[in-house]
Homo-oligomer: A and B are copies of this chain.
């Protein structure tokens, strides 16, 4: 039996919703989840607003096996993710002793002042575990099934690399792509028939529009090599049978 493990992502930040910054973390997480055998089922992007973050994280954590967040864990007044997550879990948000020690040592080494703003980065919900940050020290954290990570992509990626080995994974969704020089209008009918005949596959078709014409990537996905091959062969035979 295929085991399904699900996940959702919550991207936090006004700068994403204003268009100033283009989110890259959701796309990166999507790739890693697929490679790992976890189904990313939903992404939400919300502003730096406590009520919005609380509502979204509670909606997602009750519905999916894992939730990953990015953004809002820096040292400034608009970094409110730790407080919001604590509120969502109904626990206090407090200075974590181990995080304080880590940061204090790191700033001391660099002969930099451990300002109150920097101390904010040691705040996390009571009972949270650290997610190590090899890039810039200030840790992310995990509480329950929610993993809270930085918004800066290089730090998000490094934190995620530390999280992945701790996750329960499901049966990987295998995939095969068949390229087709025809647009979806030609293959739509036969492809729907193939999907119907192969209910243990998920068949998607992705049009590319270039130089005034469409071509299509047909992607077959399945959780067993046998189902994948059977679906892929059917698609390939259909495409081969199209008029040249």
Q: Which of B27, B113, B203, B214 contacts A19 (CB 8 A)?
A: B27
- Count how many chain A residues have C-beta atoms less than 8 Å from C-beta atoms of the other chain: 72
- Please classify the interface of chain A as helix (H, G, I), strand (E, B), loop, or mixed, using the class held by over half of its residues: mixed
A76 in the interface (beta carbon within 8 A)? yes
A235 CB, min distance to chain B CBs, angstroms: 12
Given A14-B202, A30-B18, also A188-B135 (CB < 8 A): no
Given A17-B41, A33-B19, A42-B45, also A117-B206 (CB < 8 A): no
User: Which residues of B sit under 8 angstroms from A219, Cβ to Cβ?
Assistant: 15, 20
Selecting from A93-101, A179-187, A225-233, the interface stretch reads A179-187
B30 touches A43 (CB 8 A): no
Q: Which of B44, B120, B191, B206 contacts A20 (CB 8 A)?
A: B206
**What residue in chain B is nearest A192 (Cβ atoms)?**
B77
Chain A, residues 187-215, CB within 8 Å of chain B (1/0): the string is: 11101100100000011111111000010
CA–CA, A207 and B138, complex, Å:
14
B22 touches A209 (CB 8 A): no
User: What are 17 A-B contacts with C-beta separation under 8 Å?
Assistant: A15-B206, A16-B30, A16-B43, A17-B43, A18-B173, A20-B34, A42-B46, A74-B188, A74-B205, A77-B195, A115-B186, A115-B188, A115-B189, A116-B188, A117-B192, A135-B209, A155-B209
